[in-house]
A and B are shown apart, each in its own frame.
Chain A
């Protein structure tokens, strides 16, 4: 019996595929040598310890093997990836001063409106350095710091020295080492004790130069009892050269603090997105991840929560959408390292037109971490049989006083659900659209309005089909 398959239209990516003529003042030679690292560090006027850190990371990078599991990285020519490109723009503090063509691109992506309306600050990274930065005065008065990481290295050197790449050390894996050597740009947020940042902070960055790697570093420290919602999103134009994104996100959530970290990663279809994200949560702290993975050729992204304080909590909500030519290997890792910690994982993936979505998860409970609770749920929706969808959750329990539940499901849109909706007078197309929207809703409802709109645009799916 041959059934008519659901037809899902490709996401329109026109606005993301706009490129600017690229114009740079400084560009390192292809490939990586200690001299290039020194040059980068010198160009950025960094302190000696950072230069040494970069050189040490480079050494680790050269000695580490490429990962052999997960995705195929054989097409990735590291020497071809230019480490560092700075756009022809210095740090600006007012929108009017931002160069026109950069502004143009951002405007087409809808950034300024979002900033004007509700967002406290925008750190938009253009190529490797942040070109625009602004933060609301009230927050500054409360002692909240939101700046680019280069500025932070000058103004808050002690804090950076204490936290920078301590959670994700360069020894972690090859791309963390690469990041440590060539990192450039990114955000630094510091929320002092007891401060509640009630409007989300947002940073938006994209890649622009052909062959340019992007290695932005995000460091967020939320002190005792403070609260923050940080949003990071990215989008890049399509180029022929394979692009690499090896960013790093380090989140420190202190006692009773709470951090929600939302990102939508929407890279162009030639991007290797090998990002490392990690959060360290102290006593009674909360980390919430909201993660959307779209675009890119290949992704390896597993945000990790280390619950090191008693009563710490983590929540992960993620969606992955893989289409033609994409292999998105995503998931999350949770380490319960203290008693009475709880975690929730809710992951959804959609694969279509030959896309390959892979959920890879780790849930680990340490020997002394008694009284932990965890619930993991993975759902995969396959829209045709050219696609692939795999789920591989690893559960490692090292004591008995735990309550763990895991569930995973795979399948297509159920005929019964469509039949039921149609029996209520809804057309088949609308019924299918409703089911797909319902499938991703747990994610969209976690996002602020502008992002939800962007996400909905991304999942601009049109369905047509006949009774099967």
Chain B
């Protein structure tokens, strides 16, 4: 498997794909009747091919993408008619357990002009099982539409997580990704936004926490095709124990994407001498009239900060925890839903207890 050598994933053996029987979809109360939401995938009929050329999508790797395309066991198709705005989020909660250890969710979202919606995906597991998640999400956002996606991955340390996400964005459309990566033994995720028309916009905010023996390969790509398109990647991470992380951030300005702006940032706090942190921030440009920037920084918690907090009576552990939470906060604050925020904060706290 090309591209996976950095986290040592050469021959990944796929487990048996079982059905996922549990209810995972939560529809908000104010859900408009005009919106087409199917609890199955591929339900948008022939229009699919018009929006997504699935064979051309490689995501985290052809093998993984084909698997979910052929054998998906869950997922949604969401069609938002023109100008329809859904205020409360649609939630997909996958709680994997012994009887439902595999989730292969295939999801489609098509947002017509001026529509707006938020979809939350939450992947969790029972403590003892070896779960497997391999998902795919395709978003097509038309003119002036806004699609917000929040993905929280907090599977246990024995499980595997793979996830492929694509957005295709028309003029003035906007797709916002929030990715929270807290769990699993091995995790490969890919987010790609195509900013295809004038003033297309995409934001990606992510946090990751690597503890134990976790291996993560996180790949974020923004392809600027339309003029005046705007992208922003902001990633905050913490690595401890023997965790290993590969961050790949790509800003790709194609010819014709004039006056576009792309910013990419990664800050990682390293807590143990045994961590491994690889960063590959690429900046590709075929257009001169653009502004592209990337910045990456890595280091320990500053001793001065730690000293200051400890001089105020905090224990070293609490001081460290506070600094880490402060680093994650700007991303977590972007999540408008209090219950989800407290789930995330609880999970982070649990994992930092030994830090």
Within the complex, the shortest CB–CB distance from A435 to chain B, in Å, comes to: 14
A residues less than 8 Å from B253 (CB atoms): 410
The residue in chain A whose Cβ has the minimal distance to the Cβ of B284 is A390
The verdict on A409 contacting B288 (CB below 8 Å), with A397-B278, A402-B299 known, is: no
**Would you mind naming 21 contact pairs between A and B with Cβ atoms under 8 Å apart?**
A367-B274, A370-B273, A382-B287, A385-B286, A387-B288, A389-B285, A393-B281, A394-B278, A396-B277, A397-B276, A400-B271, A401-B300, A403-B299, A403-B300, A404-B299, A405-B295, A406-B295, A408-B292, A409-B292, A411-B290, A412-B288
Count of chain B residues with Cβ under 8 Å from any Cβ of A? 35
Return the contact of A397 from the options B270, B283, B284, B295 (Cβ within 8 A).
B270
Q: Please state if A399 and B275 are interface contacts (CB–CB under 8 Å).
A: yes
**Bound CA span A392–B298, Å:** 17
Q: Please state if B298 and A402 are interface contacts (CB–CB under 8 Å).
A: yes
Interface of B (DSSP majority class): strand
Q: Please state if A383 and B278 are interface contacts (CB–CB under 8 Å).
A: no
Q: Please state if A400 and B270 are interface contacts (CB–CB under 8 Å).
A: yes
Within the complex, the shortest CB–CB distance from A374 to chain B, in Å, comes to: 9
The verdict on A396 contacting B278 (CB below 8 Å), with A367-B273, A370-B273 known, is: yes
**Bound CA span A138–B119, Å:** 77
Determine which residue in B255, B272, B285, B293 has the highest number of CB atoms from chain A within 10 A of its CB, and name it. Answer: B285
Within the complex, the shortest CB–CB distance from B332 to chain A, in Å, comes to: 23
Within the complex, the shortest CB–CB distance from A408 to chain B, in Å, comes to: 5
B residues less than 8 Å from A388 (CB atoms): 284-286
Q: Please state if B293 and A408 are interface contacts (CB–CB under 8 Å).
A: yes
Does residue B318 face the partner (Cβ distance < 8 Å to A)? no
Q: Please state if B280 and A393 are interface contacts (CB–CB under 8 Å).
A: yes
**Bound CA span A290–B299, Å:** 28
Does residue A45 face the partner (Cβ distance < 8 Å to B)? no
**Bound CA span A265–B292, Å:** 28
The verdict on A406 contacting B297 (CB below 8 Å), with A390-B285, A412-B288 known, is: yes
The residue in chain B whose Cβ has the minimal distance to the Cβ of A376 is B296
Q: Please state if B297 and A404 are interface contacts (CB–CB under 8 Å).
A: yes
Q: Please state if A384 and B275 are interface contacts (CB–CB under 8 Å).
A: no
Does residue B36 face the partner (Cβ distance < 8 Å to A)? no
B residues less than 8 Å from A392 (CB atoms): 280, 282-283
**Bound CA span A387–B294, Å:** 20
Count of chain A residues with Cβ under 8 Å from any Cβ of B? 35
The residue in chain A whose Cβ has the minimal distance to the Cβ of B6 is A396
A residues less than 8 Å from B289 (CB atoms): 3, 385, 412
Return the contact of A400 from the options B272, B282, B288, B296 (Cβ within 8 A).
B272
**Bound CA span A402–B297, Å:** 10
**A-B residue pairs, 8 tightest by C-beta:** A400-B270, A382-B288, A410-B292, A391-B283, A395-B279, A397-B277, A406-B296, A412-B288
The verdict on A411 contacting B291 (CB below 8 Å), with A382-B285, A395-B278, A406-B281 known, is: yes
The verdict on A383 contacting B282 (CB below 8 Å), with A400-B271, A401-B300 known, is: no
Does residue A96 face the partner (Cβ distance < 8 Å to B)? no
Within the complex, the shortest CB–CB distance from B235 to chain A, in Å, comes to: 13
B residues less than 8 Å from A400 (CB atoms): 239, 270-273, 275, 300
Does residue B320 face the partner (Cβ distance < 8 Å to A)? no
Q: Please state if A385 and B270 are interface contacts (CB–CB under 8 Å).
A: no
Does residue B215 face the partner (Cβ distance < 8 Å to A)? no
**B-contacting residues, A48-76, CB 8 Å:** none
Q: Please state if B280 and A395 are interface contacts (CB–CB under 8 Å).
A: yes
A394-B279, A404-B298 known; 16 new pairs, CB 8 Å cut-off, are: A5-B288, A384-B288, A385-B288, A390-B282, A390-B283, A391-B282, A395-B278, A395-B296, A398-B276, A399-B270, A400-B273, A406-B279, A407-B295, A410-B293, A411-B291, A412-B288
The residue in chain A whose Cβ has the minimal distance to the Cβ of B295 is A407
Does residue B225 face the partner (Cβ distance < 8 Å to A)? no
A residues less than 8 Å from B275 (CB atoms): 397-400
Interface string of A346-371 (1 = CB under 8 A from B): 00000000000000000000010010
B residues less than 8 Å from A410 (CB atoms): 253, 283, 285, 290-293
**Bound CA span A394–B294, Å:** 13
B residues less than 8 Å from A409 (CB atoms): 292-293
